[in-house]
Structure 1
Amino acid sequence: MRFEGKTALVTGASSGMGAATARMLAARGARVFTAQRRNAGFEDIEADLMDPDAPRKVINFVQALGTDLHILVNCAGMMREGTVEETSLDDWHAQLHLNLTVPFLFTRHAMPLLKRSKGAIVNVGSIEGLGNNPRHPAYGASKAGLHGLTRAVAVDHGPDGVRCNAVAPGWIDTPLNEDFIASQPDAENFRTKILDVHPLRRTGAPDEVAELICWLASDDARFVTGQVYTIDGGRTAQLPLP
């Protein structure tokens, strides 16, 4: 019960890594608020995060309850495919907004509460913030920006006692990724190729990412800040054959 007496806010908790993180925080004693359009089964705050004012409203709602905020997990995100020639300005702005601007706004509005609680922020980045898959210019740019924002917040607010870290997941078995595999002309062959690029010869589970997020949010990581932790089954460590 390492989070007993603590309050957490998780964005994008209706499925995948966000849902796994919210469940794990709650199971370990935290009071968990979530913010997204769909019900996630916790203390849900309905929010359309494409609205630039939504983060302020969510934080104001939590603050109005008179509770402290100890943990902020920025997990909401999106990915749309297309080269720079194929990506419309609307698609570019949508991905940059949800993947980068929304974490910035949540961090900005939550900072007074986090400074008071000496709290922790964990941003969900991606290995595509370190390298890029084809046809993901906006997604890669937004995740690289989120990694940079993580370091900037850690530097600026470390003196306030606020820690900020990020995780950079690789291929995780989320509904989004499963749908992507199913959309391929030869789904089983594609799945085999995905396994082959991982030294562990498997993809990751949302709970495995949630474990890392919870560790970074906990007092066990109280001397860790400004870091981006890759969790990808060794994928970025393995060079392709020539």
Structure 2
Amino acid sequence: MLKGKNAVVTGGGRGIGRGITEKLLAAGARVLVAQRQALEVELAANPDVFFVEADLAESGAPRLIAQAAAELLGGIDVLVNNAGFMFEQPIEAMSEQDWDRMMVVNLRAPVFLVRELLAQMRQRGGGSIINIGSIEGLGANPQHAAYCASKAGVHGLTRALAVDLGRDGVRCNAIAPGWIDSDLSNAYINAQADPVGARQGLLAMHPVGRTGTPQDVGGAVVFLASDEAAFVTGQVLVVDGGRTAKLPLPF
């Protein structure tokens, strides 16, 4: 589906990002992973995988990534703004520095990555931008004010870019994942007073009977990056196993 296409995936070497990278590779794309940590040996050994060390909290990171994309790939067709982070904090305990760092990584970095990479997409005749938002851009968990605001901003940015860039043949969509299995999410469950009960309760929230995997998100990315989604832009695709569609009952 993506033979001959070049992609940048921020945070593409671990967690959801790793699932996205693996699915893009399986579809035939070459992938530049941009993140702070070095790639794991298996991923680094793939001849279609490239790497640039970049900290998205730094203002110069988008330009650095764009330069690497030009030098290593000769330009890109697909940008996946995946990297981000989350913390739990009540609003009365939140500092301006906490808030600013969340917005810098989760929202500012995607904006300026688009700015820096847009010329490459235009030169190659168009492209696809896929922003990883969250179901928390649509609803909220307790003490997630900063995270929810950042992801709602990602969803709004997605619509605005779709409107502005359609004339250039550049589509922009977002994916809003629900609960996706990872080392961090598993650790969160295991930290609960009753991990077994917590896991059972979590599974009961999902009509499909399971939680998600990074590959579930990766599959959606491949679709949105491909010509199969040529008439899809400005959308937020929820990938959550039906969790947000299910109305909770008190019994």
Instruction: Provide the residue aligned with 1:31 in structure 2.
Output: 30
> What corresponds to 2:89 in structure 1?
82
- 1:192 maps onto 2:191 in alignment: no
Match for 1:105: what amino acid? F
- Structure 1 Cα separation of the partners of residues 212 and 10 of structure 2: 20
Conservation of the 8 A alpha-carbon contact between 1:34 and 1:44: yes
Q: Residues 49-71 of structure 1: CA distance to partner in whole angstroms, max 9, x if unpaired?
A: 11111111110122234612100
Identity of counterpart residues, as a percentage?
49
Q: How many residues align?
A: 241
Q: CA deviation at 1:5?
A: 1.1
Q: Select the residue among 73, 80, 93 that pairs with 2:100.
A: 93
Offset at residue 33 of structure 1 (A):
0.3
**Residue of structure 2 equivalent to 1:8:** 7
Distance in 2 of aligned mates of 1:88 and 1:189: 34
CA distance in 1, matches of 2:162, 2:121: 12
Give TM-score, length-normalised by structure 2.
0.93
Pairwise CA distance, 1:35: 0.3
The one-letter code matched in structure 2 to 1:17 is: I
Structure 1, residues 200-227: CA drift from partner, whole Å, max 9, x if none? Answer: 2211111111000110001110110000
Distance (Å, rounded) in 1 between the aligned partners of 2:120 and 2:33: 16
Instruction: Please tell me the residue identity of whatever aligns with 2:95.
Output: S
Match of 1:59 in 2: 66
Deviation readout 1:38-83 (Å, 9 max, x if unpaired): 1233311011111111111110122234612100000001000012
Instruction: Write the letter of the residue equivalent to 2:133.
Output: G
Candidates 152, 156, 169, aligned match of 1:144 = 152
Structure 1 47/139 Cα, relative in aligned 2: closer, same or farther at 3 Å? same
1:168 pairs with 176, 194, 215, which one?
176
What is the CA distance between 1:86 and its match in structure 2? 2.1
Is the deviation greater in 208-217 or in 14-23? 14-23
Q: Which amino acid aligns with 1:124?
A: I
Q: Note if contact 1:15-1:175 (Cα within 8 Å) is conserved in structure 2.
A: no
CA distance in 1, matches of 2:175, 2:73: 30
Structure 1 gaps of 5+ residues are none
**Structure 1 runs of 4+ with >4 Å offset:** none
2:113 is the counterpart of 1:106: yes
Q: Is the 8 A contact 2:8 2:32 kept in 1?
A: yes
SS of the residue corresponding to residue 202 of structure 1 reads: coil
**For 1:85, what is the secondary structure of its paired residue?**
helix
Letter of the 1:160 counterpart? D
Unmatched 5+ stretches in structure 2: none
